[in-house]
Amino acid sequence: MFICFSLGLGTMGRGIAVSLVKAGISVVAIETDEKQLETGRKAMTAMLQRDAQRRGVSPPLHLLTFTLSFHQLRDVDLVIEAVFEDMNLKKHVFGDLCKVLKQDTLICTNTSGLNVDELAAATDRQHLVVGMHFFAPAHVMKLLEVVYGSRSSPEAVSMAMAVGKRLEKVCVAVGNCPGFVGNRMLKHYLDQSIYLLEEGATPEQVDQALEEFGFALGIFKVSDLSGLDVGWRVRKASGLIGPDVNLVKPSRWRLGRRYCPLPDMLCQQGRFGQKTGRGWYLYDSPGSQQAKSDPEILKFLQDYRNKYGITARRISSQEVIERCAFSLANEGFRILEEGIAACPEDIDVIYLFGYGWPRHRGGPMFYAAQVGLSVVLEKLEHYHCDHPDVPSLEPSRLLRRLVAEGSPPIQQWKSHIKNLQSHL
Ligand SMILES: CCCCCCCC(=O)CC(=O)SCCNC(=O)CCNC(=O)[C@H](O)C(C)(C)COP(=O)(O)OP(=O)(O)OC[C@H]1O[C@@H](n2cnc3c(N)ncnc32)[C@H](O)[C@@H]1OP(=O)(O)O
Ligand SMILES: NC(=O)C1=CN([C@@H]2O[C@H](COP(=O)(O)OP(=O)(O)OC[C@H]3O[C@@H](n4cnc5c(N)ncnc54)[C@H](O)[C@@H]3O)[C@@H](O)[C@H]2O)C=CC1
């Protein structure tokens, strides 16, 4: 028998548990209090019932157990942790788990970008700690990034890959670094979209350009789906916001580079996205998925620009796509050079199956190759010149080298990397 323990039943935990149950795996689901447990239980039951109805079968609710205590942990083969994105909380939880778990239980974290090695160090079994990074909505998105910590054993990684396969996920092994592959790239894409708002765009305009390009959802809708509070926690922990920064009059530069406080300001208003019924868009009720334009956001953006003396300019769809897609690919080249991803094709798979990247454009690295590496380089140089305080727009070393060496086909990129040290 295979039993999994799912810790935290928020946006991610409930989708992960549903994926496990649908694959015939018994799940013990845990939360912090009765209210959270009940909310998670209702959401998961509804998901399983919808799925069963579509397939004309009965929902496998018997495979689910809900609890507030760790006492059922002894028989568990695998733990998947999906509590808040908070290093101290996760370390604490891992320490507590080790007091009860069997010696050979695999401990997986669904962290979206924290250091898997640091988390592993809080346990008595570093070789059995692996990142299992699911994507929202976790019962729908096909991707699973399996994060290979520096002390994760090959057996533990292959076990996580095998579980992913059983869940019918597309599994990609990635190295451990902040944000791994997908979110490390996403950060730059998200930054560009938010700068575009500062400069004069609206969330609707950016999302429309991205959706016309072929993304399943624009980035602001995705942010609302994932929850704006996730990134807020990370920024607080990394010193970008907090007691040392004046939040009454937020500055547009932090730690020596451009910083846009708009997402923090939304979170301060309790606008966390779908989960609170308000984010970049408005929703009929918390948990609803239908995004509607919110006139308050337009006023919020205009007040912000007035405060900083920014004159809104017209931004073309072409600029939206170039700044978003090329900053994504640019970081992809850095990831390749550092040996965090095995190959450009893996990066493309991550974006196709994890982030709703347009299939017909073949993933960000393939797209960069199609557009032409010299064109991508030229555009990045142009945008970096316009925004010298955004280091991520500076063309990566590998992109420059590939262009200098005649833009070889994507299959040959790796052979142009000097002293490649794989993190896999
Ligand atoms: C971002 C900054 C914050 C960073 C925080 C950490 C983030 C991470 O660590 C990594 C992430 O997860 S980032 C988010 C990645 N996810 C995406 O980019 C989603 C892209 N969207 C899609 O692929 C499709 O729109 C999607 C597949 C969602 C829906 O496609 P369709 O419209 O074809 O789907 P349907 O067939 O109508 O429904 C299938 C199931 O999906 C549910 N759904 C649909 N639209 C949704 C939406 N807008 N929000 C939430 N759920 C949604 C729908 O309810 C249905 O569910 P079930 O009935 O239970 O199967
Ligand atoms: N939201 C997203 O799109 C994604 C989030 N992640 C990661 O997944 C993790 C969870 O994120 P979300 O589900 O978005 O957060 P969330 O805030 O929606 O849910 C977190 C849940 O954990 C529960 N919790 C907190 N402490 C707990 C404890 N000690 N024991 C049991 N439950 C506890 C909370 O009550 C809450 O229900 C984070 O590490 C996040 O970075 C990963 C991929 C995507």
Contact between residue 57 and residue 21 where contact means Cβ atoms under 8 Å apart: no
Mutate to test the pocket of ligand 1, among 16, 109, 140, 281 (most ligand atoms within 8 A of CB): 140
Work out the pLDDT band at 418, boundaries 50, 70, 90.
confident
Range 3-175: architecture per CATH: 3-Layer(aba) Sandwich (3.40)
Every domain range in the chain assigned CATH 1.10.1040.10: 182-307, 317-409
* pLDDT for 71 beyond 90: no
Which residue owns the Cα nearest ligand 1 atom 17? 355
Domain 182-307 belongs in CATH node 3.40.50.300: no
pLDDT at 251: 74
Whether the CA torsion 160, 181, 217, 202 is positive or negative: it is positive
d(C-alpha 302, C-alpha 81), whole Å:
40
Residues 301-333: tens digit of each pLDDT: 999 999 999 999 999 999 999 999 999 999 999
Indicate which atom in ligand 2 lies nearest the CA of residue 234.
41
Superfamily of domain 317-409: N-(1-d-carboxylethyl)-l-norvaline Dehydrogenase; domain 2 (1.10.1040.10)
- What residue's CA is closest to ligand 1, atom 36? 140
Ligand 1 centre from 324 Cα, in Å?
20
Q: Which residues contact 216 (CB under 8 A, 6 or more apart)?
A: 356
Q: Which bound ligand lies closest to the C-alpha atom of 214?
A: 1
Protein residue closest via CA to atom 55 of ligand 1: 140
Please tell me the predicted confidence (pLDDT) of residue 374. Answer: 98
pLDDT of residue 1: 47
Helix (H, G, I), strand (E, B) or coil at 339: coil
80-129 tens-digit pLDDT: 999 999 999 999 999 999 999 999 999 999 999 999 999 999 999 999 99
- The pLDDT value recorded for residue 244 is 66
Q: How far apart are CA 382 and CA 360, in angstroms?
A: 27
Distance of alpha carbon 57 from alpha carbon 68, whole angstroms:
30
Q: Which residues line ligand 2 (CB under 6 A)?
A: 7-13, 30-32, 36, 82-85, 89, 93, 110-112, 133-136, 226-227, 230
Neighbours of 304 (CB within 10 A): 18
- Give one word for 173, left, alpha or beta, with left for phi > 0 and alpha for psi -120 to 50: beta
Q: For 24-45, what is the mean pLDDT?
A: 95
Q: Which ligand 2 atom sits nearest the alpha carbon of residue 13?
A: 13
Rounded Cα distance between 391 and 318, Å, is 21
CA 414 to chain centre: 25
The answer to pTM > 0.80 is yes
Q: Label the pairing between strands 78-81 and 253-254.
A: unpaired
Parts of the chain belonging to CATH 3.40.50.720: 3-175
Confidence check: pLDDT of 387 > 90:
yes
